[in-house]
Amino acid sequence: MHFNLKRTYLLVIILMVQLLQGQQQLPEWQPGYLDIHHINTGRGDAAFMVFPDGTTFLVDAGDMSETHPRTTSGRNAKLVPNRSKTAPEWIVDYIDQFLPKKQERKLDYALITHYHDDHFGEIDSLRIIAPGGYQLTGIMEVGTLIPIKKMIDRGFDFPIDLKDKKVQSQERFSKDAYGMIPTLKDYWKFIDHQSDKVGLKNEALQVGSNHQITLKHHPNDYPGFSVQNIASNGNIWTGYDDSVYSLFKEGEYPGENPLSNVIRIDYGKFNYYTGGDISGIDGFGQTDMDALESHVAPVIGAVDVATLNHHGNRDSQNPLYVRTIRPRVWIQQNWTADHPGEEVLRRITSKKLYPGDRDIFSTIMLQGTKDVIGGRLDQYKSQEGHIVVRVYNNGDSYDIYVLDDTSEKREIVSKHGPYKAR
């Protein structure tokens, strides 16, 4: 009997060590959970979400060209977990692992924040041509491998008409080294083909709406859940009914980043924000009161979890914005040694901008960044891995899991929390 007791204790200790070493899988999603998976492939942003009733949602599917020296240089992340699949194939492989069991294999929604390669893909000479005549890259490859029911983007006709041949011939597009217009042309082919094949519907984000992205299975069971559309194309929700105002005039093209789609997800007391590549610092390093961050911050309000705008690039997270949204948890989705700017890290950790604790998680931290940031790296809870936010109890509390991005099994590396929603 004494021997059996000792053996039991030993087994418990072994199980605890395995958990600490990241040998345990993320517990399965359960109805009532809101899961937000920030997937690291090394090729750009991708966030897979499972809403409380099982509705599925993907935000972005970054896939930078493997033929660009930028992608293969030491300043950029490597493709992970390995090169046996493309970045979109790894995204789909991840989705297949964490999709709710006994549920149809599909994405109810996919959202592209804007038309940059690290968010929606980029064509190049290495891509395979799909039956629809488009190259398999980014969201096009994801949507070919797993059906998407509703595809949401920022539209194509404001502030300039991207389908207009005169616009396409402008030097900023004709000499674009990253081929946004050629990739968009394949994206349009993808939409047409998948509309015929699986009934995909394509819509532009409807600013001010909280009825465009909704629970598809049991909405009445979770009345405290909603997705609020904040901004798109520089059109910003006022915070009242569905009224909107615009920062840009027709024909005025500020580049893709300020046109990013911005949303907030609410689940009871819990709030989550993500906004693509908007920014708020001007060319002189000062707060830009006319930039997107300054305009959307009052509408977003205080949140529990926020992704860093523009991957934490030095033009983002201005002091007004940081003070206003003041998250408990910051999540950085990045792929280059340029992210984050050291001054960004100073702003988001400043107790002068807002009091209280805050935890920071990053999908990757390259050596060049580590060399510059130095001692400030201690302010991160985790510097690499898939980052999962799991929200419980109708939004009352949540945990953060970090999963191993070097393993195809994606075991738990660390767990943080519980955090109490504010």
Token representation of residue 355: 């009091």
Residue 16 pLDDT: 54
List pLDDT tens digits, range 156-213: 999 999 999 999 999 999 999 999 999 999 999 999 999 999 999 999 999 999 999 9
Task: Assess whether pLDDT exceeds 60 at residue 280.
Answer: yes
Q: Residue 252: which residues within 8 A CB-CB, separation 6 or more? A: 159
Tens-digit pLDDT profile for residues 318-335: 999 999 999 999 999 999
pLDDT over 60 (residue 420) = yes
Q: Sketch the domain layout of the chain as residue ranges.
A: 33-420
> Sign of the CA dihedral 376, 382, 388, 391?
negative
Band (1; pLDDT cuts 50, 70, 90): very low
**Which CB contacts under 8 angstroms, 24+ apart, belong to 127-131?**
130/190, 130/193, 131/193
Percentage with pLDDT > 90 across the chain? 93
Give 253: exposed, middle or buried? Use CB within 10 Å, 0-12, 13-18, 19+.
middle
Amino acid 199: pLDDT: 98
Topology of domain 33-420, per CATH? Metallo-beta-lactamase; Chain A (3.60.15)
pLDDT in tens, 86-130: 999 999 999 999 999 989 999 999 999 999 999 999 999 999 999
Rounded to whole angstroms, what are the CA distances from 187 to 117, 132, 261, 393? Answer: 12, 10, 17, 39
29-88: pLDDT as tens digits = 999 999 999 999 999 999 999 999 999 999 999 999 999 989 989 999 999 999 999 999
- Here the tokens at position 75 are 């300043």
pLDDT at 72: 87
Is 19's pLDDT higher than 90? no
What is the C-alpha separation between 346 and 1, in angstroms, rounded? 58
How far is Cα 117 from Cα 122, in angstroms, rounded to an integer?
5
User: Quick one: pLDDT band at residue 12, thresholds 50, 70, 90?
Assistant: very low
Long-range CB contacts (< 8 A, 24+ apart) of 414-419?
414/22, 414/381, 414/382, 416/359, 416/361, 416/381, 416/382, 418/392, 419/304, 419/328, 419/329
Q: What is the mean pLDDT of the chain?
A: 95
Residue 134, CA distances (Å) to 59, 65, 138 in order: 21, 15, 11
When pLDDT is averaged across residues 264-272 and rounded to a whole number, the result is 98
pLDDT of residue 33: 98
Asked whether the CA dihedral 85, 88, 91, 92 is positive or negative, the reply is: negative
d(CA 372, CA 333): 18
The mean pLDDT of 280-292, rounded to a whole number, is: 97
Task: Tell me the C-alpha distance between 206 and 111, whole Å.
Answer: 12
pLDDT in tens, 329-387: 999 999 999 999 999 999 999 999 999 999 999 999 999 999 999 999 999 999 999 99
- Cα–Cα–Cα angle for 257, 59, 200, nearest 5°? 110
To 5 degrees, how large is the angle CA 148–CA 154–CA 158?
145
Average pLDDT over residues 307-319: 98
Stretch 266-281: mean pLDDT, rounded? Answer: 98
Q: How big is the CA angle at 365 (ends 362 and 368), to the nearest 5 degrees?
A: 150
